[in-house]
Structure 1
Amino acid sequence: MPENTARFGIGVSNAVRDIDQTMEIVAVADEAGLDHFSVSDHPYVGRMLDAYSLVGVALGRTRRISGMVNVSNLPTRPAPMLARAVTSLSALTGGRVVLGLGAGGSWDDIARLGFPRLSGAEAVRAFEEAFGLIRSLTGGGDPVSFDGEFYRLDRVDPAPVAAPPIWTGSVGAKSLAVTGRQADGWIPGHAADWLSTRYRESRPIIDEAARAAGRDPRAVATVYNLPGRISPTPLAATRDAEGRWLGGSVEQWVSELTGAVLEHGAGGFTYFPVGDVPIERASALWAQEIAPGVREALAEH
């Protein structure tokens, strides 16, 4: 990602009851020029739409915006089939997809779906194995055979489509190291931002692992899940007593995010509306005023 630029996305609901609202928000975001929309992946929750089904339909109704699952629940989406899903979406949309990848969580729920329960160490090893396997099934070329700890392929044809960017939701030290070695982006957990302890303690692990693998740490962008209120007038305090971002006016958002990019190297933001402003209105303000305002400010530096 070029210096002093950032990606801007919007988080949307994948609840069955919110279909109309979600499609409206994605359409507005697409028209306004946002970079991506993001949906969660909880396939064990009946009231939620399947994340990849939602992404596919939404991408089919848009022209420019990319879609991503934030992040794909790898234990319930075996890597070869996940590779097929994202390369198919990429081929159908001209490359408008980002692969969000997670090692897994909520293991009781995963097991209820009939998938094997992995230990933490096993899940991280399967996570890292998935990167190479997914990428091997992209870009065309000869059939792929693979004999790993968790996956085995026998002469499988790769898709004639480039691999999408892969962003992770890594939290633990071993998973963070995988991100440094393998990923294109990292989404800090628990909506931690650039001033958080989580970021300060986690990002050096990514950077060290990247350097050890011969990579430039800057190749792994930090893209923040960022909830917050957009208020009609400036707030007296934009952060709480613990330093967590609360939000503010459009101008306060623009100032804060511009500083995050220029002073802390933020690579992007996925906004999640909270507060008393209707979700559709907050999403439109983000797409039509805040993101363009930050881009304009960054272009001046």
Structure 2
Amino acid sequence: MPDYGRELSFGYFLVPNAADPLLTTAREVEDLGFDYLGVQDHPYQRRYVDTWTLLSMIAAQTTRLRLFPDVATLALRQPALLAKSAASLDLLSGGRFELGLGAGSFWEAVEGFGGVRRSPGEAYASLAEGIEVIRLLWSGGRNLRYEGHIHRLAGAVSGPVPPHPIGIWLGAYGPRMLGLTGRVADGWVPSLQGGDATWVAEASARVDEAATAAGRPPSDVRRILNVSGTLTSGPSKGLLQGPADQWVDELTDLAVGIGFDTFVLWVSGGDEAAQRREFAERVIPRVRQQVAQERT
């Protein structure tokens, strides 16, 4: 599998639990030197604050941290308004926003919240069309028209234009969605939780194949991985369940062996604040060093 040679970045996955000190955590993440902060988007969860409102508040209280929904639920967010929100947040944050995007999941909850339950084929079509609509609304054009099977524009006016090219990163898993990622997306953002990394290598290869078939260099698609695990002081208990040395080796393999350039820490156990600090101090610099050594 290829290593695309991108500079490594590291992020933190924030669960928007209303009872947690979310803004304090975001400021701490920036102070620790993380590059990104991703916020999951499940608005039907009664204990969660709204992801977009939280991202806006975090943007106002940070200066360097790059932000993205991890990932936005298109099933509950109309694409033209999603494009407007993304462009506005990018402008107000000084170009620090990227758009993580997914077709939707937990369809019973989506339907209960007023959304439309879609079949796999409809969800695919909605996402493919939604990407086109979003990019049209970022174009700066006027009298924008689009007639899809699910989404449409009937003379919309674009604006504000994002101050930097916002990446569209797809949370994709199935073969058709991986193909769409390779053909049109700027990034791929899956989650690695337990087990082994075999499936993620196979899925990345599907993205590469789709990109090549579409006439794109596979390196055009960034690889962002949510890594769920726990840093421990004891022996390994599996993938991303062990001491810092193990994490360094495993993340290095994912970078140089599969091509991931960004790792977003999703703490699955233990003291979250302590886990963030240990990851920032004992994992991030050593992964950067080890990847640089293996590349040379």
TM-score, normalised to structure 1's length?
0.89
- Rounded to whole Å, the distance in 2 between the matches of 1:192 and 1:59 is 31
Match of 1:254 in 2: 248
Shift of 1:28: 1.8
CA-based RMSD of the aligned residues comes to: 2.0
2:236 counterpart residue number: 237
CA distances 1:180-237 after superposition (whole Å, capped 9, x unpaired) = 11111112245378x5232133222212211121111121122211112212x3x433
Residue of structure 1 in register with 2:115 after alignment? 115
For 1:281, give the aligned amino acid. Answer: A
Measure, in 2, the Cα distance between the counterparts of 1:80 and 1:142. Answer: 14
AA aligned to 1:27 is R
Q: For 1:101 and 1:192, locate their aligned partners in 2 and report how far apart those are by CA, in whole Å.
A: 23
The answer on whether the counterparts of 1:10 and 1:38 sit within 8 Å (CA) in structure 2 is yes
Q: Which residue of 2 aligns with 1:101?
A: 101
Identity of aligned residues (%): 31
When residues 106 and 66 of structure 1 are mapped into structure 2, their CA distance, relative to the original with a 3 A threshold, is same
Residues 219 and 227 of structure 1, relative CA distance in 2, 3 Å threshold: same
Contact 1:210 1:216 in 2 (8 A): yes
- Measured in 2, the distance between the counterparts of 1:229 and 1:111 equals 34
Q: Distance in 1 between matches of 2:242 and 2:24?
A: 24
Farther off after superposition, 182-191 or 125-134? 182-191
Task: Report whether the alignment pairs 1:204 with 2:205.
Answer: yes
Q: How does 1:139-288 map to 2 (within 5 A)?
A: 139-159=139-159, 160-161=161-162, 162-189=164-191, 191=193, 196-231=197-232, 233=233, 235-237=234-236, 239=238, 245-276=239-270, 278-288=271-281
Cα deviations by residue, 1:136-194 (Å, 9 ceiling, x for unpaired): 1114233311111112212222222244111111111111111111111112245378x
Contact 1:192 1:225 in 2 (8 A): no
In 2, the alpha carbon distance for the partners of 1:175 and 1:23 equals 33
Mapped to 1, the partners of 2:46 and 2:16 lie a distance apart of: 11
Amino acid at match of 2:224: V
**Match of residue 43 from structure 1:** 43
| Structure 1 unaligned regions, length at least 5 | 240-244
Contact 1:168 1:185 in 2 (8 A): yes
Kept in 2: contact 1:76–1:115 (CA 8 A): yes
Aligned to 2:34: 34
Gaps of 5+ in 2: none
Q: Which amino acid aligns with 2:209?
A: E
Once residues 243 and 192 of structure 2 are traced to their aligned partners in structure 1, the CA distance between those partners, rounded to angstroms, is 23
Match of 2:287 in 1: 294
Q: Residues 91 and 230 from structure 1, CA distance in 2 versus in 1: closer, same or farther, beyond 3 angstroms?
A: same
